Structure 1
Amino acid sequence: MNIKQYLDSTYLKTAQQANLTEMENTKVVQHFIQEAIDEDFKLIMIRPDHVKLANDMILKHKSKVLIGTVIDFPNGNSDLEPKLQQAQTAINDHADELDFVINYEAFKNGEITLIKTEIIACAKLALSNKKNIKFIIEVAALSNHQIIQICALIKNTIIANFKEENFANIFVKSSTGFYTTINNLPNGATLETIILMLENSNPLPVKAAGGVRNIDDALTMIQLGVKRIGTSVAKTIADGHVSNENY
C-alpha cells in the first residue's frame, strides 16, 4: 500500500490566521504545493485563490498531483448561489476536487429541504464537470446522533438522485479543522466519529480530516475503510514521524 496516495496535503490558513503577510503566506502555499509534487501525494488541498498557482506549478513539473479546494469555508452558511459561483470559479481555475462545507447549522435547525437542495445542486455541478465532491459535515459541531443523521441524509439524497457509478466520486468528509471546540476537545476526525461516518455513509467514501498526526493513526483509519486523509503534516506521516499539529 502506498500511504501517500491516501494523503490530501492541506494548507488552508489565510495570511491573517497564520500571522503572516500575504506574500509570506503565498510562499508557504508554494512550499506545500512543491512538497506535494516532490512527494507525489494524492492531492494538494488549498484555498480557492491559490488554485491557479497550484495548477501552474503542477503543469510545470508534469505532476499527477490533484488540486482540491474548499467551498464556503469554513462555516458553510452562505446561500446556495454563492456556493455554486465559488465552485464554478474553482472549476474554471482547474481544481479537480471540491470540498463543500455543508450548512450544518441549518441541518441542526431542522432545515432538511434546504440541505437536500444544496446536496443535489452542488453534486450536479461537480459531477457534470467531472470533479470529485466532498461534503464536510463538521463532526465537532454535531452530536453522535446528528452525525448519523447527516451522513444518512447525504447518502440517501445521493442514492435517490444520482447513478451508482457516481457514488465513488462523492465523499463525506469529517471536518474543516477550523471549528472552535470547548475544553480543547478534538475538532477533527476521531475513531468514534469516523466509525459512525463509515457505518452511515456507505456506499459513499469517507475522508478523515484533522487529528491524524502519525502513520499508525493513518493506517488505522485506512484499515477501517477511509479512502482519504486530510492533513497539514502529510510528509511527517509519510516519513513515519509524529506531529503535534492540530490538523
Structure 2
Amino acid sequence: MAARRQVASVCVRPCDVELARTLLAGSGVLVGTVAGFPHGDTRTTVKAAETRELVEAGADEIDMVLHIGRLRSGDTAYVHDIAAVVAAAQGHVVKVILENAYLSDEQKITGCRLTEKAGAHFVKTSTGFAPGGATLTDIRLMRAAVSSHIEVKAAGGVHSLDTLLTLHQAGATRFGATATAAILDDFAARGRGEQPPARATASGEGY
C-alpha cells in the first residue's frame, strides 16, 4: 500500500527494518523506525548504539523519543542525548518525539529548542501510546518554537483528511497515521489531485 500510494515513509519496528527495506526496494518510499521507544528512558549510549545498528540495517529515518522524565524534571543536560542520536544517524533524518500529552507548554517549547540545537530535523508530537496525540494547539506551539528549517510531524489522532489539512495549515508537514489509505482515498474523492499538500507516513499501530 505504501509503495502504491507513494507515501513518504513506512515506520516499522526495529526488528523489521531489513524486511521493510527489501519490500520497499525501488519504490522511493523511505524506511523509518524508532529508537528509545516508547518512553525515551534508555541510556544515551544505548540510544546511540541502537541508532547506528538501525542505520546499518537500512533505516532511512529515526524517530527517537527524548527522555521525557528528565525533560519534565528540568534536566536539560541529559536531554541532549538527542545530539548523540543525531551523530549516530550519520546524516539520516532524525525526528524527536516529545510525547506532548505528558508535558507543559513550557516543557514542549524547551524540547523543541533542544531538538533544534542538537541538529535533528523534525519535532514530533507523540508516540501513539500516550493518552493524547497531535492537537492543533500543540502544532502551532511547536511550529513557533523552532526555526523554519525544522519540520513538525503530527502523530497520534490523525484519522481523517480534515484533521490532516487542519494540522497542515498550522505548520505540520509530516503525519504519522494508520488510516493512510482512507485519508488518501478521501483526498482523491474530493478531486484535489493525486497527492495531499504534505506527505504521510504509513505506520504500524503506535508508530
Alignment of 1:222 onto 2:168 = yes
Structure 1 stretches of 5 or more lacking a match?
1-34, 163-168, 182-186
Give the secondary-structure state (helix, strand or coil) at the position aligned to 1:213.
coil
CA distances 1:4-32 after superposition (whole Å, capped 9, x unpaired): xxxxxxxxxxxxxxxxxxxxxxxxxxxxx
Cα contact 2:36–2:64 (8 A) shared by 1 = yes
Q: CA deviation at 1:236?
A: 1.1
Q: Which runs of 4+ in 1 moved over 6 A?
A: none
CA distance in structure 2 between the partners assigned to 1:246 and 1:223 by the alignment: 24
CA distance in structure 2 between the partners assigned to 1:246 and 1:131 by the alignment: 22
- Equivalences for 1:27-38 in 2 at 5 Å? 35-38=1-4
Q: CA deviation at 1:227?
A: 1.4
Alignment of 1:144 onto 2:113 = no
Which residue matches 1:107? Answer: 71
Code of the aligned partner of 2:76: I
Report the structure, 1 or 2, having the larger helix content. Answer: 1
Which residue matches 1:44? Answer: 10
Code of the aligned partner of 1:120: A
Which residue matches 2:21? Answer: 55
Q: CA deviation at 1:152?
A: 2.4
Alignment of 1:201 onto 2:146 = yes
TM norm structure 2 = 0.86
Code of the aligned partner of 1:58: L
Alignment of 1:123 onto 2:86 = yes
- Equivalences for 1:173-212 in 2 at 5 Å? 173-179=124-130, 181=131, 187-203=132-148, 204-212=150-158
Give the secondary-structure state (helix, strand or coil) at the position aligned to 2:186.
coil
Structure 2 stretches of 5 or more lacking a match?
188-204
CA distance in structure 2 between the partners assigned to 1:148 and 1:115 by the alignment: 13
Number of residue-to-residue matches in the alignment: 189
Which residue, 213, 218, 227 being the options, matches 2:159?
213
Bigger Rg, structure 1 or 2? 1
Code of the aligned partner of 1:144: D
Q: CA deviation at 1:48?
A: 0.6
CA distance in structure 1 between the partners assigned to 2:83 and 2:6 by the alignment: 32
Identify if the C-alpha distance between structure 1 residues 246 and 103 changes in structure 2 by more than 3 Å, giving closer, same or farther: closer
Alignment of 1:98 onto 2:62 = yes
